[in-house]
Amino acid sequence: MAARPVLKMGDPRLLERAAEVGEFATPELLALLQDMRDTMVAERGAGLAAPQIGVPLRVVIFGFESSPRYPDALPVPYTELINPVLTFPDDEEEEGWEGCLSVPGLRGLVSRHRHLRYRGFDPQGNLIQRSVEGFHARVVQHEVDHLDGMLFPRRIRDLTRFGFQDVLFPGVPVLDD
Ligand code: NI
């Protein structure tokens, strides 16, 4: 059990569709989640998807108590989500700055659905079903994108709103999704 290296943009493994988890509560799945937790904490991330540590399975984790980068964002409960399915109750979108542990040092303005319903399973196979909005909705959409081989820079509509964290937001602590 340990933090593992995070793959960076350019690695072809970050462009693949990850496979559904077929069996819950296995030692392999629990060990993967432990490594993902350790990695997210070590890298000070707000979320992490299994493909980012080279494991092509539909597993994401996310959550934080408070974010200096998003002082107004409500805390997001720490969640381990397997085989997630997203649905959008309406078409409303909102823009927000995103970063990613696989795209270190960069930030881009990305439009996401403001309201999100998601369902999936915890590591024991229990159903998780939530309706969320705002930053919680953004983090989940960002992480689930990783499961479909999508990194946030490809979602930036105006590439003039893409740049280095320390230039765009000098002095603001880094928290990557
Ligand atoms: Ni990411």
Distance in Å, CA 45 to ligand 1 centroid: 9
Q: Confirm if 162 and 107 have CB atoms less than 8 A apart.
A: yes
What is the residue range of 105's domain?
12-168
d(CA 148, CA 151) in angstroms, rounded, equals 9
Beta strands 106-113 and 93-98 are antiparallel
d(CA 56, CA 53) in angstroms, rounded, equals 9
**133 assigned to active site:** no
Give the pLDDT score at 89.
97
Structural domain includes residue 98: yes
Structural domain includes residue 173: no
Distance in Å, CA 146 to ligand 1 centroid: 7
Give the pLDDT score at 125.
98
Could you list the pLDDT tens digit for every one of the 177 residues in the chain? 699 999 999 999 999 999 999 999 999 999 999 999 999 999 989 999 999 999 999 999 999 887 666 666 778 999 999 999 999 999 999 999 999 999 999 999 999 999 999 999 999 999 999 999 999 999 999 999 999 999 999 999 999 999 999 999 987 766 666
Distance in Å, CA 120 to ligand 1 centroid: 19
Structural domain includes residue 143: yes
Q: pTM above the 0.75 mark?
A: yes
Give the pLDDT score at 120.
98
Distance in Å, CA 124 to ligand 1 centroid: 25
Structural domain includes residue 129: yes
Instruction: Give the CATH number for residue 68.
Output: 3.90.45.10
| The two structure tokens encoding residue 9 | 């943009």
Three-state DSSP state, 75:
coil
Structural domain includes residue 174: no
Give the pLDDT score at 92.
98
Number of domains within the chain = 1
Give the pLDDT score at 104.
95
Distance in Å, CA 155 to ligand 1 centroid: 12
Three-state DSSP state, 29:
helix
Burial class (CB in 10 A: 0-12, 13-18, 19+), 161: middle
Whose structure tokens read 């893409």?
A: 162
Structural domain includes residue 1: no
The active-site residue, picked from 43, 80, 98, 143, is 143
Structural domain includes residue 5: no
Structural domain includes residue 154: yes
